[in-house]
Amino acid sequence: MPRFDPLALGVMGHAIAMVAEEMGAVLVRSALSPNIRERRDASCALFDAGGRMVAQAAHIPVHLGAMPAAVRAAMGRRPGPGDVLLLNHPSHGGSHLPDLTMVEAIADESGTSVIGYAAVRAHHADVGGMSPGSMPFGARELVQEGLVLPPVFLERGGRPVDDVWAIVLANVRTPDERRGDLAAQRAACRAGAEGWRALRQRTGVETLDAAGAALLDYAERRARERLRPLEGARGAAEDFLEGDGVTDADIRIAVSAAVRDGTLHLDFGGTAPRVAGNVNCPRAVVQAAAVFVLRMLLDDDVPTNDGLARAVSLSIPPGSAIDARDGAAVAAGNVEMSQRLTDAIVRALDAAGLPVPAQGQGTMNNVVFGGAGWTFYETLGGGQGASARGPGPSGVHVGMSNTRITPIESLERAYPLEVVHYGIRAGSGGAGRHRGGDGVVRSYRALDSCTVTLLTERRRHAPRGAAGGGDGARGRNLLNGVEVPAKCRLELQAGDVVTIETPGGGGWGG
Amino acid sequence: MTWAVGVDVGGTFTDAVAIGADGRCLAAKVPTTPHDQSAGVLAAIEALGIRAEGIDRVAHGTTVVTNLLLERSGARVVLCATAGATDLLRLRRQDRAALYDLAADHAPPLVAADAVVGVTERVGARGVATPLADDVVAAVVASVRGQHPEIVAVALLFAHEAPAHEQRLAAALRAALRAALPAGVDVVCSHEVLPEIREFERTATTAAEAYARPRVARYLAALEARLAARGLPAPLVVTSSGGMLPAGVAARHAAALALSGPAGGVVGAAAVCRAARVPLALTVDIGGTSADVGVVVDGAPLVEAGGDVAGVPIALPRVLVETVSAGGGSIAWADDGGALRVGPRSAGARPGPACYGLGGTEPTVTDAHVVLGTVQARSLAGGVALDAARAHEAVGRLAAVLGAEPTRVARAIIASADAAMARALRRVSVERGLDPRTATLVPFGGGGPLHACGLAEHLGMHEILVPPFAGVLSALGLAMAPERRDGLASVLAGAEGLDAAAVGAACAAADTATDGVHLPDVAFTARVRYAGQGHEVETPVAPGDDGPAIAARFAASHRTRFGFALERPVELVSLRATRSGAAHAIALSRTGDGASAWDDAAPRDDGGTLARTVRGPVSVALPDATLHVALGWTATALGIGGWHLTREG
């Protein structure tokens, strides 16, 4: 490999990032469902011919380090130039089933060889399974959660594989919307492929290959530079998920962190074994949490690519709740286990003496309403942890999520629900020299009979303060003013009011 | 002879351009007067050296609103909001300020939590759920009065559809507060400021209007008085959407002036595109600290729904302008990963680039140009003598750190700045389904013509139009732009169910809202989406259209932009009417007096008569900028002034 001119690195960094951003722009502006368009629960990434991720346009961190596994799985099917695959299987590059990942094997100008991969992951509002929204409460098997897709060909030899489209659309509740969102993903892949081809033509094959490799090295170098002053630091932490939707028993997540030889080593020994319910997660989600925490320590301008992952090493106990395989249910793992993994890693770094913030709300507060012919899914912000630099922000998504709230006026127009109250949960942030951010209160009144599924956390174990700061307030879920469990499915009559009080963030400093 | 004058207030300079009835142009540049911009505005007009009686129009782009939002120096506002939803300004849309920096928070809202008064009332999607009771009105009025506001904002849920509660409350507040301040206390309602669904965006925009209005009104009144004292006409003010409002009207549309400054630049570029008959253009205005990127389609700036200004959400239509922190003053440095970096730190105007000799020692983009000779010591406008030796020293020091030849480093600095700007240009175009390769690049500002060829090459573009008066283009565009007012009406209905009469009624409502029915031209645009989508596409509405006709036009443009259309119901969200006056009838031309004497050794274009074609590489000194024609490019002087560049191959 020829050495790449460091003076040209900035130019190529912009050029490659530009292609990934273009994919994101096409996806967000053309997708149909609010979940992708408004909440931006989606990610786009570009890979070189060897399957190394050279750029990612991140809208949501939970996909951060997880896309390479999807492309590796797709490459295992040996796609030809221009072929497109679709997957969501957690053991084959997926995260949880609603995240459909599309991968295009980018053809060169002559259409004879594969010169890279464009990958687009988007959270779809429904992929079938036992309950609308495909985030079922109480699922024990993967097949209950929706249609399971190992990498399958969606286009082959320049033609759509109609049978696969037919199977996908026949197994979801809202096929028109799925068709629209998949078309948007397809358009985004195409934009990535065209951009990559054009860039290759402009710079030349060897320059682009060398630039890709140099950018990975550069990101790795920046990450290791950041870790260098922390060499020798070590610390351990444990944290808990509050039940798996089948039982209420705590599920332990343990991690010990050490910075050694410029690498962040994370050992999850002691983490609970696979659970019956659906808070398990595949290794790719652990990878995403680890890269997210590393990213938190880095400056904003460090490029997001596979080079970052080289500065992290993971040890994950086989058969544990964070090594989901063999049909383990995972729907909530991606949204809640990912939060707790982040919390645990951050706390281990705190124990190691790193300047990290107190814990944030640590849950996405998943709320799914469903009635005759409709489903509505949203997640609620809460308090962010305070840090040495200042108080924690209030009413935001923390950690691995960053999706937006649905406007009250849009929600009420579309569904038979009324938002009775939506405000800051004053005083819920932890005390301290810097206060933790406050959670929110959101109350919904059912105008028709319907069901609501709540998938929430931090109702038992409060978000912890840091450096002597107080804990944030635990969250609460209420039906007509009476507390209900953190994870439950409720049948509502017209007039019933469901209230979610989200957790506050931990305070910082005594 | 009569003159139309445009005045653009920037951070450092206030520019004025006068266009005579015969097409002659005059330009002047004076320092901006930050404490009272109107002093600089008057000074700039006087610097043009024409008699006041000859000036029949003054058009103005201002940064007053942008600055007061940045400085948080607006009015003390009390906000009345539906009880149960009084924290909207703090909650925003729950997205955090930075993805990976967990300590970062949004700027605090313009109205503090204790200045929000809850109103017990509720309108829902199915109509009034809780009526607004008389005793509630009385209690709210008492509570607002106790807060001694300068101005009151009223933003209730669903007021875009059913404004009656806002209207009643506003009337009661106005009556009760009439005597509270000498000029009374103004009340701003959300259904008037932004009659569109989405409560957070509507409330935030209403709060911004109230926050900015009193100071903007004072500024515009002072400006008008200052101009009147010299026998000059009352000014027109450019809005964020490229509209042009009489000062008295602009004073009641303060939030719509938030991007008045940058919008003026794109309005100027659009005027030149019309004169040169350029159908699709990407514009880039490169200054000292940043570059502003925009799009001009068919001679009009691309207008979109709003976003944040200085951390304040303002959802009013605006000329698309994306700002990149890359400019002539951007500082080049080596990071801890061994890479050459350019910006985001800037040397600004003070100390400025090393070559200014004002104390700057770090190498900037301008210094790199000096090292390469693309900017020559004698070619800088504004009377600054460039010190080439200091530029060489500064770039040389960085070159030593990077272990590379200084000229290679200088080239890399420029390439890196180009790449950052190209990325923004590409983003703004592809996000809108436009292919930059089919567009003409229109570079302006002091640095635009220097970087044009490099940017075009990054983007695969083959044509560049360097406008006349590139360094003061905003002011030129303001002088040329017609009066223009926008009005909005909420629709939110399925297109299928709208007959021509219903569309016509909505158009009429939007037209009334323009408050400009005396202006001769009117055009309508609908914001349209597929049911379920959260983003709208601006779709033109023709007279006599019914819903299905608009839906068909929307589907066609959706296909062009995104590559597909859907079999799915189509919704109209809102309708916008645009009223405009006759365009100022002027023909740009190179004037005979002061014809440029061409010197191949030191090419220079003073704006006089010039017929010339040159091949790159060559630098041409313009009155207030430098044009760099790169190898492979051919440049031809245009009859309207400025240059047209094409790339071979």
> Tell me: the pLDDT tens digits for A217-245?
999 999 999 999 999 999 999 999 999 98
Contact A14 B422 (CB under 8 A): yes
Nearest chain A alpha carbon to B122: A420
Question: Confidence class of residue B96 from pLDDT cuts 50, 70 and 90?
Answer: confident
At the top level of CATH, the class of B74-217 is alpha beta
Question: Confidence class of residue B306 from pLDDT cuts 50, 70 and 90?
Answer: confident
A269 to chain B, closest Cα gap in Å: 27
Question: Confidence class of residue B337 from pLDDT cuts 50, 70 and 90?
Answer: confident
Contact B340 A9 (CB under 8 A): yes
- Structure tokens belonging to residue A80: 């030809």
Contact B85 A8 (CB under 8 A): no
Identify all chain B residues contacting A409, using CB atoms and an 8 Å cutoff.
Answer: 125, 157-158, 160, 197-199
Is B207 part of the contact surface with chain A (CB cutoff 8 Å)? no
Of B132-146, B160-174, B232-246, B295-309, the poorest mean pLDDT is in: B295-309
Residue A320 or A64, more confident: A320
Is B345 part of the contact surface with chain A (CB cutoff 8 Å)? no
Predicted local confidence at residue A304, as pLDDT: 87
Give me the total of CB pairs closer than 8 Å, taking one residue from chain A and one from chain B. Answer: 215
Question: Confidence class of residue B374 from pLDDT cuts 50, 70 and 90?
Answer: confident
Q: Give dist(CA B213, CA B254) in Å, integer.
A: 5
Contact A10 B533 (CB under 8 A): no
pLDDT in tens, A257-281: 999 999 999 999 999 999 999 999 9
Question: Confidence class of residue A202 from pLDDT cuts 50, 70 and 90?
Answer: confident
Identify all chain A residues contacting B85, using CB atoms and an 8 Å cutoff.
Answer: 408, 419, 421-423
Residue A429 or B486, more confident: A429
Region label for A133, one of left (φ > 0), alpha (ψ between -120 and 50) or beta (otherwise): left
Give residue limits of the domains in chain A: 6-219, 357-510
- The CATH 3.40.50 domain(s) of chain B lie at 74-217
Predicted local confidence at residue B309, as pLDDT: 87
3-state secondary structure of A198: helix
Identify all chain B residues contacting A408, using CB atoms and an 8 Å cutoff.
Answer: 85, 157, 199
| Whether residue A200 has pLDDT greater than 60 | yes
Contact B412 A8 (CB under 8 A): yes
Predicted local confidence at residue A2, as pLDDT: 47
Give chain B's mean pLDDT: 90
Quick one: average pLDDT of B492-508? Answer: 93
| Whether residue A315 has pLDDT greater than 90 | yes
The percentage of chain B sitting over the pLDDT mark of 70, rounded to a whole number, equals: 96
Quick one: average pLDDT of B259-263? Answer: 89
Identify all chain B residues contacting A179, using CB atoms and an 8 Å cutoff.
Answer: 566
Total residue length of chain B: 649
Identify all chain B residues contacting A424, using CB atoms and an 8 Å cutoff.
Answer: 87, 90-91, 113
Nearest chain B alpha carbon to A402: B95
pLDDT in tens, B71-80: 899 999 999 9
Q: Give dist(CA B327, CA A38) in Å, integer.
A: 33
Is B534 part of the contact surface with chain A (CB cutoff 8 Å)? yes
Quick one: average pLDDT of A170-179? Answer: 91
Quick one: average pLDDT of B462-475? Answer: 92
Q: Given the structure tokens 């490229």, which residue do they identify? A: B242
Which helix (H) or strand (E) is B468 found in, with range? none
Is B559 part of the contact surface with chain A (CB cutoff 8 Å)? no
Identify all chain A residues contacting B199, using CB atoms and an 8 Å cutoff.
Answer: 407-409
Identify all chain A residues contacting B158, using CB atoms and an 8 Å cutoff.
Answer: 409
Is B400 part of the contact surface with chain A (CB cutoff 8 Å)? no
Closest CB to A176: pick one of B160, B199, B568.
B568
Closest CB to A412: pick one of B93, B124, B561.
B124
| Whether residue A135 has pLDDT greater than 50 | yes
Q: Give dist(CA B239, CA B261) in Å, integer.
A: 8
Closest CB to B103: pick one of A25, A387, A408.
A387
Q: Give dist(CA B228, CA B225) in Å, integer.
A: 5
Amino acid, res. B400: A
Q: Give dist(CA A106, CA A122) in Å, integer.
A: 20
Long-range contacts of B275-280 (CB under 8 A, 24+ apart): B275/B587, B275/B588, B275/B640, B276/B465, B276/B638, B276/B640, B276/B642, B276/B644, B278/B440, B278/B442, B278/B465, B280/B434, B280/B438, B280/B439, B280/B440
| Whether residue A490 has pLDDT greater than 90 | yes
Closest CB to B102: pick one of A30, A177, A385.
A385
Q: Give dist(CA B631, CA A74) in Å, integer.
A: 44
Question: Confidence class of residue B649 from pLDDT cuts 50, 70 and 90?
Answer: low
Predicted local confidence at residue B511, as pLDDT: 94
Q: Give dist(CA A363, CA A335) in Å, integer.
A: 8
Which helix (H) or strand (E) is A241 found in, with range? strand A234-242
Contact B426 A385 (CB under 8 A): no
Which of B88, B90, B94 is best to mutate for the A interface (most A CBs within 10 A)?
B94
Predicted local confidence at residue B586, as pLDDT: 64
Identify all chain A residues contacting B86, using CB atoms and an 8 Å cutoff.
Answer: 423
Question: Confidence class of residue B439 from pLDDT cuts 50, 70 and 90?
Answer: very high
Identify all chain A residues contacting B313, using CB atoms and an 8 Å cutoff.
Answer: none
Q: Look at residues B527, B574, B535, B562 and name the one whose alpha carbon lies nearest to residue A35.
A: B535
A16 to chain B, closest Cα gap in Å: 10
Sequence-ordered list of residues with C-beta below 8 angstroms from that of B179, at least 6 positions apart, any chain: none
A409 to chain B, closest Cα gap in Å: 6
The percentage of chain A sitting over the pLDDT mark of 70, rounded to a whole number, equals: 98
pLDDT in tens, A136-173: 888 999 999 999 999 999 999 999 999 999 999 999 98
Identify all chain B residues contacting A405, using CB atoms and an 8 Å cutoff.
Answer: 91, 93-94
Predicted model pTM = 0.89
| Whether residue A174 has pLDDT greater than 90 | no
Predicted local confidence at residue B365, as pLDDT: 95
Closest CB to A187: pick one of B86, B338, B564.
B564
Question: Confidence class of residue B178 from pLDDT cuts 50, 70 and 90?
Answer: confident
Identify all chain A residues contacting B416, using CB atoms and an 8 Å cutoff.
Answer: 10-11, 14
Closest CB to A357: pick one of B102, B125, B419.
B102
